Amino acid sequence: MTKNTEITRLTPRGNMDILSQLEVNQLKQGSQDDGLYETFRRCSLAVLNVDSTTDDAREVLERHRDFQIHVVQQERGLKLEIKNAPESAFVDGKVIIGIQEQLFAVLRDVSYVKNKIASNQIFDINTSEGITNVVFHILRNARILVPEIEPNLVVCWGGHSIGRGEYDYCKDVGYQLGLRKLNVCTGCGPGAMKAPMKGAAIGHNKQRIRRGRYVGLTEPGIIAAESPNPIVNELVILPDIEKRLEAFVRAGHGIVVFPGGVGTAEEILFILGILLNPANQHIPFPLILSGPASSRDYFKQIDEFIKLTLGREAQEHYSIIIDDPVKVAREMAAGLESVRNFRRENSDAYYFNWILNIDHQFQKPFDPIHENVAALNISRDQPLHLLAADLRRAFSAIVAGNVKADGIQRIEQHGPFDISGEKNIMQSLDDLLHSFVDQQRMKVPGKTYTPCYHLNKR
């Protein structure tokens, strides 16, 4: 991949505020907050690395190890100075405007989390309420939360590495959502995250909607493997995967799940674990699993895995629609009407789902080191929603071992993760993971997959 070796200076775009000299100093390489600088650098590189075809974060960082970015404070305001950035981010020597906006979104979020969240004692991250307030403040600062607009934000989950047929189907669903004046929120990457945004943009244009929302939510550990796609016009960097997942379900009003791999399975288990919590039984939250006819067996296996692990009660919380984009959009629109009525009756905000109860087990950041993975309780001797929490963590560990730089390094140093659990559950998990490998849903097609896990059946 060619690079632009010239030094390029960029002025703020989007809703980036000015920074203090203290904040600028924190973002300098070699400062006491050098870890903050590295987070800023990695996320910025991911934004600039548009159209990347690799999902190996470490490979991206190694390929662009000479990439530089600096915050320059001037009397008339700040600028970003970049060098050795991927050439694909430029047109005739100038950085694409949408990429500039995303760069300053990165700067906004990493600085805000450092200075307004991490060091602020009003946020008690040892409580569920405290973490929810962190998510709220980050989303509000990014201006994602828009009051006085009825529920219309549909979260779309799915794999970053999908076939052309699945991509086209995801785009068709997005188009039908856009025609119904619904906005789209995804994990911001390629594949099943880009496709519905692209389709919705066409649908919005046909309806003459000039300010369609294409919200991308990501986090520092995954962004290098899933660079933001160019359609995203509202990007947010959450501090970790758990807060990213909570942001989806707090800000979104319904979810469509497309075909994917372990990351998508993690997301499914997250939302099912929340909906299985007895405290949430009365709260409407439309959840649809959908794909083309070629994905029928994929969803059949996902459905079977859920039945064998979490039971029929979990299956009642979603519907599966195969090869019918119009039906998906119609059912989602009807589901959002139920959400609107419920929130109005309960005086809950349209823009943030305060009433939804999220157990602290789903909110605590999970560090996928070998000891923590081995300690997971994957058995039915606990409430179903807590079993879902540990299954979610198991998939999160596999994601880390597959694509995150730190996870890949740990696997190289200590070998595969040992994941142990109840025999029937582990057999079902083994079958599901094998199907992902066979369908090339673990890595970008063309690469041989080496498992980063070992399953033990008790």
User: Taking all residues of the chain, what is their mean pLDDT, rounded to a whole number?
Assistant: 92
Q: Which fold has domain 146-345?
A: Rossmann fold (3.40.50)
Residue 240 has pLDDT above 90, yes or no: yes
Annotate the chain with three-state secondary structure: CCEECCCEEECCCCCCCCCCHHHHHHCCCCCCCHHHHHHHHHHHHHHHCCCCCCCCHHHHHHHCCCCEEEEEEECCEEEEEEECEEHHHEECCEECHHHHHHHHHHHHHHHHHHHHHHCCCCCCCCCHHHHHHHHHHHHHHCCCCCCCCCCCEEEEECCCCCCHHHHHHHHHHHHHHHHCCCEEEECCCCCCCHHHHHHHHHHHHHCCCCCCCEEEEECHHHHCCCCCCCCCCEEEECCCHHHHHHHHHHHCCEEEECCCCHHHHHHHHHHHHHHHCHHHCCCCCCEEEEECHHHHHHHHHHHHHHHHHCCHHHHCCCEEEECCHHHHHHHHHHHHHHHHHHHHHCCCCCCCCCCCCCCHHHHCCCCCCHHHHHCCCECCCCCHHHHHHHHHHHHHHHHHHHHCHHHHHHHHHHCCEEEEECHHHHHHHHHHHHHHHHCCCCCCCCCCCCCCEEEEEC
Integer Cα distance of 18 and 148 in angstroms: 28
Question: Check: CATH 3.40.50.620 for 3-104?
Answer: no
What confidence score (pLDDT) does residue 32 get?
72
pTM: 0.93
Q: What is the pLDDT of residue 75?
A: 67
Q: pLDDT: is 215 or 122 the higher one?
A: 215
Stretch 94-120: mean pLDDT? 92
Question: Does residue 448 surpass a pLDDT of 80?
Answer: no
State the pLDDT at residue 224.
77
Confidence class for position 53, pLDDT limits 50, 70, 90: low
Distance of CA 374 to the CA centre of its chain: 25
Give percent of the chain with pLDDT exceeding 90: 75
- Enumerate the domain spans of the chain: 3-104, 146-345, 361-457
CATH fold match for the domains 3-104 and 146-345: no
